[in-house]
Amino acid sequence: MEEYTRESGLPAGLASVLTCVASVVSEVSNVLRSGSVSSGYSGGTNAFGDNQLEVDVAVDRLIFERLASCSAVQGAASEEQPELKPLPGRGYTVVFDPLDGSSIMGANFAVGTIFGIWPGGSPVGRAGRRQAAAAYAVYGPQTILVWARPKAGSTAAAEVAAAEERVQAGAEAEPGPAEHVEANGEASADGRGSGPDAEARGSDAASLCSCSARLRDTHQVDEFLLNADGTWRLNRADLAVAPVSKIFAPANLRAAAANEEYAELVRKWIEANFTLRYTGGMVPDVHHILAKGSGVFCNPCSSTAPAKLRLVFECAPLSFVLEAAGGSSTTGQHSVLDEPIRTTNDRSKICLGSSQLVEESLPAMQAA
Protein backbone atom coordinates (compact mmCIF):
# COMPACT_ATOMS: atom_id res chain seq x y z
CA MET A 1 0.00 0.00 0.00
CA GLU A 2 2.86 2.41 0.74
CA GLU A 3 4.22 1.79 -2.74
CA TYR A 4 0.83 2.44 -4.32
CA THR A 5 0.26 5.72 -2.50
CA ARG A 6 3.79 6.84 -3.37
CA GLU A 7 3.33 6.00 -7.07
CA SER A 8 -0.04 7.79 -7.08
CA GLY A 9 1.73 11.12 -6.70
CA LEU A 10 0.01 11.95 -3.42
CA PRO A 11 1.49 14.50 -1.04
CA ALA A 12 3.56 12.69 1.57
CA GLY A 13 1.32 13.48 4.51
CA LEU A 14 -1.88 12.37 2.81
CA ALA A 15 -0.15 9.21 1.59
CA SER A 16 0.83 8.47 5.18
CA VAL A 17 -2.73 8.93 6.45
CA LEU A 18 -4.21 6.69 3.76
CA THR A 19 -1.59 4.02 4.47
CA CYS A 20 -2.52 4.21 8.16
CA VAL A 21 -6.21 3.85 7.29
CA ALA A 22 -5.49 0.75 5.21
CA SER A 23 -3.46 -0.77 8.03
CA VAL A 24 -6.09 -0.24 10.72
CA VAL A 25 -8.87 -1.54 8.45
CA SER A 26 -6.90 -4.78 8.14
CA GLU A 27 -6.73 -4.97 11.94
CA VAL A 28 -10.43 -4.24 12.35
CA SER A 29 -11.21 -6.99 9.86
CA ASN A 30 -9.23 -9.45 11.97
CA VAL A 31 -11.05 -8.37 15.13
CA LEU A 32 -14.46 -8.88 13.53
CA ARG A 33 -13.61 -12.23 11.95
CA SER A 34 -11.99 -13.63 15.07
CA GLY A 35 -15.08 -13.08 17.19
CA SER A 36 -12.81 -11.95 20.00
CA VAL A 37 -15.11 -9.05 20.87
CA SER A 38 -18.78 -9.47 21.72
CA SER A 39 -21.42 -7.79 19.57
CA GLY A 40 -23.61 -7.36 22.65
CA TYR A 41 -24.32 -4.07 24.38
CA SER A 42 -21.53 -2.64 26.50
CA GLY A 43 -23.91 -1.00 28.95
CA GLY A 44 -22.66 2.47 28.01
CA THR A 45 -23.79 5.22 25.65
CA ASN A 46 -21.85 7.60 23.42
CA ALA A 47 -22.02 11.39 23.57
CA PHE A 48 -25.17 11.37 21.43
CA GLY A 49 -27.01 9.02 23.79
CA ASP A 50 -26.77 5.98 21.49
CA ASN A 51 -26.36 2.61 23.19
CA GLN A 52 -22.88 1.26 22.47
CA LEU A 53 -21.98 -2.29 21.55
CA GLU A 54 -18.79 -3.77 22.96
CA VAL A 55 -17.45 -4.11 19.42
CA ASP A 56 -18.16 -0.38 18.76
CA VAL A 57 -16.03 0.56 21.75
CA ALA A 58 -13.20 -1.84 20.88
CA VAL A 59 -12.95 -0.79 17.23
CA ASP A 60 -13.18 2.89 18.15
CA ARG A 61 -10.30 2.53 20.60
CA LEU A 62 -8.18 0.64 18.07
CA ILE A 63 -8.60 3.27 15.37
CA PHE A 64 -7.76 6.12 17.74
CA GLU A 65 -4.60 4.28 18.82
CA ARG A 66 -3.43 3.71 15.25
CA LEU A 67 -4.18 7.28 14.15
CA ALA A 68 -2.17 8.52 17.13
CA SER A 69 0.84 6.63 15.77
CA CYS A 70 0.64 8.37 12.37
CA SER A 71 2.96 11.37 12.11
CA ALA A 72 0.56 13.14 9.72
CA VAL A 73 -2.54 13.05 11.97
CA GLN A 74 -2.93 15.97 14.37
CA GLY A 75 -6.45 15.27 15.57
CA ALA A 76 -9.31 12.81 15.41
CA ALA A 77 -12.96 12.47 16.38
CA SER A 78 -15.42 9.64 16.02
CA GLU A 79 -19.12 8.99 16.23
CA GLU A 80 -18.42 7.33 19.58
CA GLN A 81 -16.18 10.18 20.81
CA PRO A 82 -17.20 13.29 18.83
CA GLU A 83 -15.10 15.85 20.69
CA LEU A 84 -11.94 16.43 18.67
CA LYS A 85 -8.89 14.87 20.32
CA PRO A 86 -5.46 16.39 19.63
CA LEU A 87 -2.90 13.82 18.48
CA PRO A 88 0.92 14.03 18.25
CA GLY A 89 1.23 14.38 14.47
CA ARG A 90 0.75 17.35 12.17
CA GLY A 91 -1.12 17.73 8.92
CA TYR A 92 -4.61 16.23 8.99
CA THR A 93 -7.68 15.64 11.12
CA VAL A 94 -9.49 12.33 10.66
CA VAL A 95 -13.15 11.90 11.58
CA PHE A 96 -14.62 8.43 11.46
CA ASP A 97 -17.54 6.16 12.16
CA PRO A 98 -15.77 3.10 13.61
CA LEU A 99 -18.47 0.55 12.85
CA ASP A 100 -21.34 1.74 10.71
CA GLY A 101 -24.23 -0.73 10.83
CA SER A 102 -23.10 -2.46 14.02
CA SER A 103 -26.75 -3.00 14.99
CA ILE A 104 -27.13 -5.52 12.14
CA MET A 105 -24.05 -7.51 13.10
CA GLY A 106 -26.21 -10.00 14.97
CA ALA A 107 -27.62 -11.08 11.61
CA ASN A 108 -24.05 -11.42 10.25
CA PHE A 109 -24.72 -8.69 7.68
CA ALA A 110 -21.89 -6.67 6.19
CA VAL A 111 -20.82 -3.60 8.18
CA GLY A 112 -18.29 -0.86 7.53
CA THR A 113 -15.98 1.90 8.71
CA ILE A 114 -16.10 5.44 7.29
CA PHE A 115 -13.25 7.99 7.25
CA GLY A 116 -13.23 11.69 6.40
CA ILE A 117 -9.73 13.17 6.04
CA TRP A 118 -9.50 16.93 6.49
CA PRO A 119 -6.45 19.16 5.95
CA GLY A 120 -5.37 20.89 9.14
CA GLY A 121 -7.69 21.09 12.11
CA SER A 122 -11.38 20.72 12.90
CA PRO A 123 -13.91 20.30 10.09
CA VAL A 124 -16.41 22.44 11.99
CA GLY A 125 -16.98 25.65 10.05
CA ARG A 126 -16.20 24.02 6.72
CA ALA A 127 -18.18 22.06 4.14
CA GLY A 128 -17.52 18.50 3.02
CA ARG A 129 -16.00 19.54 -0.28
CA ARG A 130 -12.92 20.68 1.69
CA GLN A 131 -11.99 17.12 2.63
CA ALA A 132 -8.60 16.10 1.28
CA ALA A 133 -9.77 12.52 0.83
CA ALA A 134 -12.39 10.10 2.12
CA ALA A 135 -12.56 6.35 2.52
CA TYR A 136 -14.71 3.49 3.69
CA ALA A 137 -14.23 -0.20 4.39
CA VAL A 138 -16.76 -3.01 3.92
CA TYR A 139 -16.41 -6.09 6.12
CA GLY A 140 -18.36 -8.84 4.38
CA PRO A 141 -17.36 -12.15 2.76
CA GLN A 142 -14.34 -10.11 1.66
CA THR A 143 -12.84 -7.01 3.22
CA ILE A 144 -12.81 -4.14 0.74
CA LEU A 145 -11.35 -0.65 1.11
CA VAL A 146 -12.47 2.18 -1.15
CA TRP A 147 -11.08 5.69 -1.16
CA ALA A 148 -11.36 8.92 -3.10
CA ARG A 149 -8.10 10.82 -3.43
CA PRO A 150 -6.69 13.62 -5.62
CA LYS A 151 -5.46 12.63 -9.06
CA ALA A 152 -1.74 13.04 -9.63
CA GLY A 153 -0.97 16.43 -11.14
CA SER A 154 -4.48 17.79 -10.53
CA THR A 155 -5.32 21.13 -8.99
CA ALA A 156 -6.71 19.21 -6.00
CA ALA A 157 -3.36 17.48 -5.45
CA ALA A 158 -1.60 20.86 -5.63
CA GLU A 159 -4.03 22.39 -3.12
CA VAL A 160 -3.58 19.49 -0.69
CA ALA A 161 0.21 19.73 -1.00
CA ALA A 162 0.07 23.49 -0.35
CA ALA A 163 -2.15 22.94 2.70
CA GLU A 164 0.35 20.38 4.03
CA GLU A 165 3.16 22.92 3.69
CA ARG A 166 1.15 25.59 5.53
CA VAL A 167 0.35 23.25 8.39
CA GLN A 168 3.94 22.03 8.66
CA ALA A 169 5.00 25.67 8.87
CA GLY A 170 2.70 26.17 11.83
CA ALA A 171 -0.19 27.83 10.01
CA GLU A 172 -3.71 26.50 9.58
CA ALA A 173 -4.82 24.83 6.36
CA GLU A 174 -7.18 27.59 5.30
CA PRO A 175 -10.40 26.41 3.61
CA GLY A 176 -11.08 27.87 0.20
CA PRO A 177 -13.50 30.80 0.09
CA ALA A 178 -16.24 28.64 -1.39
CA GLU A 179 -16.56 26.62 1.79
CA HIS A 180 -16.32 29.22 4.56
CA VAL A 181 -19.39 29.36 6.76
CA GLU A 182 -20.65 32.92 6.78
CA ALA A 183 -21.91 34.83 9.79
CA ASN A 184 -25.53 33.94 8.99
CA GLY A 185 -24.64 30.26 9.17
CA GLU A 186 -24.92 29.63 5.45
CA ALA A 187 -22.27 28.42 3.06
CA SER A 188 -20.95 31.29 0.94
CA ALA A 189 -22.39 31.89 -2.51
CA ASP A 190 -19.61 30.15 -4.42
CA GLY A 191 -20.18 27.07 -2.30
CA ARG A 192 -23.80 26.85 -3.46
CA GLY A 193 -25.13 27.03 0.08
CA SER A 194 -28.76 27.59 0.99
CA GLY A 195 -30.47 30.94 1.34
CA PRO A 196 -31.15 33.88 -0.99
CA ASP A 197 -27.84 33.64 -2.82
CA ALA A 198 -28.50 30.02 -3.69
CA GLU A 199 -32.00 30.83 -4.91
CA ALA A 200 -30.63 33.64 -7.05
CA ARG A 201 -28.34 31.18 -8.80
CA GLY A 202 -31.32 29.12 -9.93
CA SER A 203 -33.16 26.08 -8.65
CA ASP A 204 -32.74 23.66 -11.53
CA ALA A 205 -32.44 20.05 -10.44
CA ALA A 206 -28.78 19.62 -11.36
CA SER A 207 -27.72 22.61 -9.27
CA LEU A 208 -29.43 21.11 -6.21
CA CYS A 209 -27.42 17.89 -6.53
CA SER A 210 -23.92 18.97 -7.52
CA CYS A 211 -21.44 21.80 -7.76
CA SER A 212 -19.85 23.30 -10.85
CA ALA A 213 -16.45 22.19 -9.43
CA ARG A 214 -16.89 18.48 -10.19
CA LEU A 215 -14.83 16.18 -7.98
CA ARG A 216 -14.72 13.65 -10.81
CA ASP A 217 -12.43 15.98 -12.75
CA THR A 218 -9.78 16.17 -10.03
CA HIS A 219 -10.19 13.00 -7.95
CA GLN A 220 -10.05 9.26 -8.42
CA VAL A 221 -11.83 6.42 -6.62
CA ASP A 222 -9.93 3.16 -6.11
CA GLU A 223 -10.98 -0.18 -4.62
CA PHE A 224 -8.65 -2.55 -2.77
CA LEU A 225 -9.15 -6.14 -1.64
CA LEU A 226 -7.57 -7.51 1.55
CA ASN A 227 -5.48 -10.61 0.93
CA ALA A 228 -5.29 -13.56 3.33
CA ASP A 229 -1.80 -12.48 4.43
CA GLY A 230 -3.03 -9.02 5.49
CA THR A 231 -1.69 -7.18 2.44
CA TRP A 232 -3.80 -5.20 0.02
CA ARG A 233 -4.11 -5.48 -3.74
CA LEU A 234 -5.68 -3.01 -6.11
CA ASN A 235 -8.93 -4.58 -7.27
CA ARG A 236 -10.35 -1.80 -9.46
CA ALA A 237 -9.02 1.65 -10.29
CA ASP A 238 -10.90 4.82 -11.19
CA LEU A 239 -14.39 3.59 -10.33
CA ALA A 240 -17.28 5.39 -11.98
CA VAL A 241 -21.03 5.79 -11.36
CA ALA A 242 -23.30 5.98 -14.40
CA PRO A 243 -26.01 8.67 -14.47
CA VAL A 244 -28.90 6.23 -15.00
CA SER A 245 -29.85 3.06 -13.15
CA LYS A 246 -32.69 0.75 -12.12
CA ILE A 247 -31.31 -0.17 -8.69
CA PHE A 248 -32.52 1.54 -5.51
CA ALA A 249 -31.99 1.41 -1.74
CA PRO A 250 -34.88 3.16 0.09
CA ALA A 251 -33.60 4.00 3.59
CA ASN A 252 -35.69 5.42 6.44
CA LEU A 253 -38.71 3.94 4.68
CA ARG A 254 -40.94 4.69 7.67
CA ALA A 255 -40.75 8.34 6.54
CA ALA A 256 -42.95 7.40 3.59
CA ALA A 257 -45.93 7.13 5.96
CA ALA A 258 -45.97 10.93 6.36
CA ASN A 259 -43.85 11.99 3.36
CA GLU A 260 -46.22 11.44 0.44
CA GLU A 261 -43.56 12.42 -2.10
CA TYR A 262 -41.29 9.65 -0.80
CA ALA A 263 -44.11 7.10 -0.92
CA GLU A 264 -44.85 8.13 -4.50
CA LEU A 265 -41.16 7.91 -5.46
CA VAL A 266 -40.86 4.36 -4.11
CA ARG A 267 -44.07 3.35 -5.93
CA LYS A 268 -42.71 4.86 -9.14
CA TRP A 269 -39.48 2.89 -8.92
CA ILE A 270 -41.29 -0.35 -8.08
CA GLU A 271 -43.70 0.10 -11.00
CA ALA A 272 -40.70 0.73 -13.28
CA ASN A 273 -39.36 -2.73 -12.26
CA PHE A 274 -36.39 -1.36 -10.35
CA THR A 275 -34.27 -3.82 -8.38
CA LEU A 276 -34.35 -3.35 -4.60
CA ARG A 277 -30.99 -3.66 -2.84
CA TYR A 278 -31.16 -2.62 0.82
CA THR A 279 -29.53 -4.21 3.89
CA GLY A 280 -29.99 -1.54 6.56
CA GLY A 281 -26.25 -0.77 6.56
CA MET A 282 -25.31 2.47 4.84
CA VAL A 283 -21.79 1.39 3.87
CA PRO A 284 -22.70 -1.86 2.08
CA ASP A 285 -25.72 -0.21 0.46
CA VAL A 286 -23.62 2.69 -0.86
CA HIS A 287 -20.84 0.30 -1.90
CA HIS A 288 -23.36 -1.64 -3.98
CA ILE A 289 -23.70 1.47 -6.16
CA LEU A 290 -19.97 1.43 -6.89
CA ALA A 291 -19.89 -2.36 -7.23
CA LYS A 292 -22.57 -2.28 -9.93
CA GLY A 293 -21.58 1.07 -11.40
CA SER A 294 -24.97 2.66 -10.77
CA GLY A 295 -27.85 2.92 -8.30
CA VAL A 296 -29.22 5.22 -5.63
CA PHE A 297 -29.33 5.34 -1.83
CA CYS A 298 -32.22 7.55 -0.74
CA ASN A 299 -32.77 8.65 2.88
CA PRO A 300 -35.37 11.43 3.14
CA CYS A 301 -37.17 12.27 6.38
CA SER A 302 -40.58 13.30 7.63
CA SER A 303 -42.20 14.92 10.64
CA THR A 304 -42.40 11.53 12.31
CA ALA A 305 -39.14 10.04 11.01
CA PRO A 306 -36.43 12.73 11.31
CA ALA A 307 -32.96 12.65 9.78
CA LYS A 308 -30.57 10.46 11.79
CA LEU A 309 -27.39 10.17 9.73
CA ARG A 310 -24.54 12.38 10.92
CA LEU A 311 -23.16 14.83 8.42
CA VAL A 312 -19.49 14.81 9.35
CA PHE A 313 -19.06 11.12 10.19
CA GLU A 314 -21.24 9.48 7.51
CA CYS A 315 -22.84 11.73 4.91
CA ALA A 316 -19.92 14.00 3.94
CA PRO A 317 -17.28 11.24 3.49
CA LEU A 318 -19.56 8.91 1.51
CA SER A 319 -20.82 11.79 -0.65
CA PHE A 320 -17.20 12.74 -1.35
CA VAL A 321 -16.49 9.22 -2.63
CA LEU A 322 -19.64 9.02 -4.75
CA GLU A 323 -19.19 12.47 -6.30
CA ALA A 324 -15.53 11.69 -7.02
CA ALA A 325 -16.80 8.67 -8.96
CA GLY A 326 -19.10 10.89 -11.02
CA GLY A 327 -22.29 10.44 -8.99
CA SER A 328 -24.38 13.10 -7.28
CA SER A 329 -25.56 13.80 -3.75
CA THR A 330 -28.21 16.08 -2.31
CA THR A 331 -29.81 17.24 0.91
CA GLY A 332 -32.75 18.49 -1.15
CA GLN A 333 -31.30 22.01 -1.13
CA HIS A 334 -27.79 21.43 -2.48
CA SER A 335 -25.03 18.84 -2.69
CA VAL A 336 -24.29 17.22 0.66
CA LEU A 337 -20.71 18.46 0.16
CA ASP A 338 -21.91 22.07 0.23
CA GLU A 339 -23.70 21.70 3.56
CA PRO A 340 -21.72 23.60 6.21
CA ILE A 341 -20.71 21.60 9.27
CA ARG A 342 -21.74 23.54 12.36
CA THR A 343 -21.31 20.82 14.99
CA THR A 344 -20.22 17.20 15.03
CA ASN A 345 -23.81 16.27 15.90
CA ASP A 346 -25.34 17.72 12.73
CA ARG A 347 -27.83 15.32 11.16
CA SER A 348 -28.70 15.31 7.49
CA LYS A 349 -31.08 13.97 4.89
CA ILE A 350 -29.18 12.42 2.03
CA CYS A 351 -29.66 10.93 -1.40
CA LEU A 352 -26.63 9.87 -3.41
CA GLY A 353 -25.75 7.80 -6.43
CA SER A 354 -26.65 7.98 -10.12
CA SER A 355 -27.38 11.60 -10.99
CA GLN A 356 -30.69 11.00 -12.76
CA LEU A 357 -32.15 9.12 -9.80
CA VAL A 358 -30.83 11.68 -7.32
CA GLU A 359 -32.61 14.39 -9.31
CA GLU A 360 -35.81 12.30 -9.31
CA SER A 361 -35.62 12.16 -5.51
CA LEU A 362 -35.70 15.94 -5.03
CA PRO A 363 -39.46 16.28 -4.30
CA ALA A 364 -39.16 13.60 -1.61
CA MET A 365 -35.99 15.17 -0.20
CA GLN A 366 -37.62 18.61 -0.07
CA ALA A 367 -40.94 17.45 1.39
CA ALA A 368 -39.80 17.58 5.04
pLDDT < 70 stretches in the chain: 36-51, 174-203, 211-213
Whole-number pLDDT of residue 174: 65
Whole-number pLDDT of residue 195: 41
Whole-number pLDDT of residue 5: 86
Q: Give the tens place of pLDDT for each residue, 78-128.
A: 999 999 999 999 999 999 999 998 888 888 999 999 999 999 999 999 999
Q: Give the tens place of pLDDT for each residue, 225-263.
A: 999 999 999 999 999 999 999 999 999 999 999 999 999
- Domains assigned to the chain: 2-152+212-236 (3.30.540.10), 247-366 (3.40.190.80)
Question: Cα dihedral angle (330, 332, 333, 335), rounded to 10 degrees?
Answer: 0
